[in-house]
């Protein structure tokens, strides 16, 4: 092949400020038997860093409260070597709350990454598409109309989220679900459900209304082992299912035709992953309320750290967990335990961080 | 028996029928070009041949099996498609994009074999984009980008390759560049190529087999030298012209009649 006629002069990549350089290359491990596994070095580093951050924040968070426990004691207790008093506080009171936070954050991060990839739109996250509002409607119905128990509220939220997910899918379906239609339909559904939620609140008496508003902010207060278990099961089932389908999802980023030509069964894949994303989001919201901004920001933050195209599913998941647990830590440190619901902090932290990133990237000429 | 054919297919989008009872054979080892006026169904036919569109009647056969019934990845190892619309994901490098063409050959524990690496390198070399491997796709020129997409389709390593208007949006030297590349893939690598092209002269120069469509019907097919005549061009495109020998290649060259000649004919034709 002759040299191409239009090879534009290479940009002064290495020296110029703000020049874009590709991320570190992939490393491949191959066995003699013909098996091979490819690892994105930078993505791997990001995931390791996020996990470390989440772990550190968790340990500090467990030590935080009316009875502060030093980090060393927390770690000792977690491996079963602490004294009885500490053991009770750690494993019965604070650990379940932290685990719920980590699992909810991870589920929201993963659900958000799936939705953003499927809709090919950074705004296509569950809180924008109306899923969070749908869960809220389910919870409000139980609180306001039936004055239900906590576990009934959880069930109501789960049902509301799943029903909304199904509704959005059916409304957006026209020879397959496509990006912008999904976003538009979702925004419409969100508006309608928000109106319904407003109506329900006005119908509530004062006690129920206060309870509803706390739920709607998203909070980890008073979470115990009974919430950890279903969340853990959900993640154990859905995460592997999603990750097995991740390579196909990467291909769909190049458009339906290209991915179809490459052998991806686009519509089936999208349906499967949307169901998984709805379950993850609805499950997480049922456990902690509609914690704002995690599903929207986690995938964007993760992507900017890995600098890798693709849905960045695992980094988004770790980012979600880190974000939520850090937000909970910040709210408890700044305002004392049980004062400020974590949803308020995720909104502020996530929003500020995203703005900061957008501003710095704009300066670097990246957007 | 050729590897790819459409048998009596009816092609429609919802209720809008594009073609009925259409049968087409793609000769093995040919560079087949489909031509025809706008909205004649040439891209639709290509979509059907590449299983993007399921015929509402009739069937498309690949190696003797109905294409829709075959496993998706298996088809993708036999037949590649370069569609008109494709999206380069944000911040993707050329090497990464071309590497994605290996998807149908990969699996959960076969993520990036030495073979994958070799094929990707060769695909980039034969399309002349090897030195761009580290560059971001979105900072390339249109011509370079089209080569990258072709490289991706090549990395799929399919004996059959379908291209939907691969020269659209390119200026003349890049159009010729891409067509030269296609001819090379056909001649040197022995692939069967099927392309939809707008430019009849490009089609006549590069195709070994030409299919002329009008309103969802095959008007003529065969070697360009055998079928491209002034009568055919008028029948298919409704254009008065002369067909002369291309001074460079000897293939048919369509020269549209001057405006005055055409209007005079139209006037006398109407009277």
Domain total of chain B: 1
Torsions phi, psi for A103 (to 5 deg):
-70, -40
Domain-embedded: residue B257:
no
3-state SS, one letter per residue, for A21-37: CCCCCEEEEECCCCCEE
* Chain A residues in contact with chain B using a Cβ-Cβ cutoff of 8 Å: 1-8, 10-11, 20, 22, 26, 28, 30, 34-38, 120, 244, 247, 250-251, 253-255, 257-258, 260-265, 307-310
Residue pair A76/A82 in contact (Cβ under 8 Å)? The answer is yes
Domain-embedded: residue B201:
yes
Burial status of residue A297 (CB atoms within 10 A of its CB: 0-12, 13-18, 19 or more)? buried
Q: What is the pLDDT of residue B239?
A: 92
How many other CB atoms sit within 10 Å of the CB of residue A11?
A: 12
3-state class (DSSP) for residue A352 = helix
- The ipTM assigned to this model is 0.89
Residue pair B110/A34 in contact (Cβ under 8 Å)? The answer is yes
Chain B (196-255) residues lying within 8 Å, Cβ to Cβ, of chain A = none
Domain-embedded: residue B152:
yes
Q: Which residues contact A303 (CB under 8 A, 6 or more apart)?
A: A312, A315, A316
Are the Cβ atoms of B76 and A261 closer than 8 angstroms? yes
Q: What is the pLDDT of residue A366?
A: 52
Q: What is the pLDDT of residue A12?
A: 37
Q: Which residues contact B247 (CB under 8 A, 6 or more apart)?
A: B253
Q: Which of B14, B48, B100 to mutate to test the interface with A (most CBs of A within 10 A)?
A: B100
Q: What is the pLDDT of residue A82?
A: 81
3-state class (DSSP) for residue B95 = helix
Nearest to A344 by CA among A219, A208, A221, A210: A219
What length does chain B have?
A: 271
Burial status of residue A61 (CB atoms within 10 A of its CB: 0-12, 13-18, 19 or more)? buried
Are the Cβ atoms of A263 and B174 closer than 8 angstroms? no
Which residues of chain A fall below pLDDT 50?
A: 1-24, 367
Are the Cβ atoms of B147 and A7 closer than 8 angstroms? no
User: How many Å lie between the alpha carbon of A5 and the closest alpha carbon of chain B?
Assistant: 8
Residue pair A258/B86 in contact (Cβ under 8 Å)? The answer is yes
Q: CB under 8 Å, gap of 24 or more: what pairs does A350-359 form?
A: A350/A292, A350/A293, A350/A294, A350/A296, A350/A297, A350/A298, A350/A323, A351/A293, A351/A297, A353/A297, A353/A301, A354/A296, A354/A297, A354/A300, A354/A301, A357/A300, A357/A301, A357/A304
Domain-embedded: residue B186:
yes
Residue pair B257/B241 in contact (Cβ under 8 Å)? The answer is yes
Chain B (18-77) residues lying within 8 Å, Cβ to Cβ, of chain A = 50-52, 72-77
Q: Which of B80, B89, B183 to mutate to test the interface with A (most CBs of A within 10 A)?
A: B89
In the block, which residue shows the tokens 């609180």?
A143
User: How many Å lie between the alpha carbon of A306 and the closest alpha carbon of chain B?
Assistant: 11
Q: What is the pLDDT of residue B119?
A: 94
3-state class (DSSP) for residue A316 = helix
Residue pair A343/A218 in contact (Cβ under 8 Å)? The answer is yes
Give the Cα separation of A351 and A307 in Å (integer).
20
Give the residue numbers spanning the domain of B17: 2-225
Task: Please compute Rg for chain B using Cα positions.
Answer: 20
Which residues of chain B fall below pLDDT 70?
A: 263-271
Least CB–CB distance from B156: residue in A8, A255, A262: A262
Q: Which of B91, B102, B141, B149 to mutate to test the interface with A (most CBs of A within 10 A)?
A: B91
Q: What is the pLDDT of residue B267?
A: 56
Burial status of residue A293 (CB atoms within 10 A of its CB: 0-12, 13-18, 19 or more)? buried
Contacts of B92 in chain A (CB under 8 A): 309
Following DSSP, what letter does each residue of A235-246 receive, concatenated?
A: HHHHHHHHHHTH
Locate B170 and state its tokens.
């390119």
Q: Which residues contact B106 (CB under 8 A, 6 or more apart)?
A: A247, B112, B113, B116
Give the Cα separation of B26 and A38 in Å (integer).
38
CATH number of the domain encompassing residue B49: 3.40.50.300
How many other CB atoms sit within 10 Å of the CB of residue B265?
A: 12
Q: What pTM was computed for the model?
A: 0.87
Least CB–CB distance from A4: residue in B81, B147, B184: B147
Chain B (101-140) residues lying within 8 Å, Cβ to Cβ, of chain A = 101, 103-104, 106, 108-114, 116-117, 125-129, 131-132, 134-136, 139-140
Domain-embedded: residue B143:
yes
């Amino acid at each position: 092949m002759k040299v191409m006629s239009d090879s534009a002069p290479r940009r002064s990549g290495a020296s110029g400020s703000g020049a874009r350089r590709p991320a570190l290359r992939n490393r491949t491990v191959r066995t003699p038997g013909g098996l091979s596994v490819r690892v994105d070095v930078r993505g791997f580093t990001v995931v390791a860093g996020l996990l470390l951050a989440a772990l550190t924040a968790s340990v500090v968070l467990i030590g935080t409260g009316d009875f502060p426990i030093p980090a060393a004691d927390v770690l000792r207790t977690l491996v079963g070597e602490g004294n009885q008093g500490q053991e009770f506080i750690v494993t019965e009171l604070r650990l379940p709350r932290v685990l719920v936070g980590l699992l909810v954050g991870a589920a929201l991060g993963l659900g958000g990454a799936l939705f953003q990839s499927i809709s090919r739109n950074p705004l296509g996250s569950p809180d924008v598409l109306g899923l969070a509002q749908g869960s809220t409607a389910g919870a409000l119905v139980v609180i306001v109309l039936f004055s239900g128990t906590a576990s009934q509220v959880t069930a109501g939220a789960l049902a509301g989220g799943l029903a909304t997910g199904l509704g959005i899918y059916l409304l957006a379906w026209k020879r397959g679900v496509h990006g912008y239609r999904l976003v538009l339909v979702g925004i419409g559904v969100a508006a309608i459900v928000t109106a319904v939620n407003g109506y329900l609140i006005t119908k509530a008496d004062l006690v129920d209304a206060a309870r509803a508003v706390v739920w709607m902010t998203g909070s980890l207060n008073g979470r115990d082992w009974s919430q950890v278990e279903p969340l853990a099961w959900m993640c154990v089932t859905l995460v592997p299912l999603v990750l097995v389908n991740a390579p196909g999802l990467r291909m769909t980023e190049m458009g339906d035709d290209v991915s179809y030509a490459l052998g991806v069964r686009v519509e089936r894949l999208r349906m499967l992953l949307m169901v998984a994303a709805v379950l993850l989001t609805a499950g997480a919201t049922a456990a902690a309320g509609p914690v704002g901004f995690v599903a929207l920001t986690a995938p964007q933050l993760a992507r900017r750290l890995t600098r890798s195209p693709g849905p960045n599913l695992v980094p988004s998941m770790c980012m979600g967990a880190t974000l939520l647990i850090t937000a909970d830590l910040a709210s408890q440190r700044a305002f004392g335990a049980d004062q400020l619901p974590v949803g308020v902090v995720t909104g502020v932290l996530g929003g500020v961080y995203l703005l900061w990133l957008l501003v710095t990237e704009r300066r670097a000429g990246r957007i | 028996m050729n590897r790819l054919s459409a048998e009596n297919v009816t092609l429609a989008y919802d209720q809008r029928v594009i073609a009925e009872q259409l049968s087409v054979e793609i000769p093995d080892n040919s560079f087949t070009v489909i031509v025809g006026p706008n909205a004649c169904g040439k891209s639709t036919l290509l979509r059907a041949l590449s299983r993007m569109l399921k015929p509402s009647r009739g069937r498309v056969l690949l190696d003797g099996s109905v294409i829709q019934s075959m496993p998706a990845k298996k088809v993708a190892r036999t037949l590649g498609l370069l569609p008109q619309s494709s999206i380069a994901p944000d911040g993707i490098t050329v090497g990464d994009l071309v590497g994605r063409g290996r998807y149908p050959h990969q699996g959960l524990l076969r993520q990036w074999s030495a073979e994958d690496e070799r094929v990707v390198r060769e695909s980039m070399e034969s399309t002349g984009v090897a030195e761009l491997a580290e560059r971001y796709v979105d900072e390339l020129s249109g011509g370079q980008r089209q080569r990258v997409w072709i490289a991706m389709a090549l990395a799929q390593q399919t004996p059959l390759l379908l291209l939907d208007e691969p020269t659209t949006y390119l200026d003349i030297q890049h159009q010729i560049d891409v067509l030269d590349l296609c001819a090379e893939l056909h001649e040197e690598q022995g692939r069967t190529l099927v392309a939809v092209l707008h430019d009849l002269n490009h089609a006549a120069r590069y195709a070994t087999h030409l299919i002329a469509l009008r309103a969802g019907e095959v008007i003529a097919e065969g070697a360009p030298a055998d079928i491209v005549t002034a009568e055919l061009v008028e029948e298919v495109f409704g254009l008065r012209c002369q067909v002369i020998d291309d001074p460079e290649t000897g293939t048919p060259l369509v020269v549209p009649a001057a405006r005055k000649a055409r209007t005079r004919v139209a006037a006398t034709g109407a009277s």
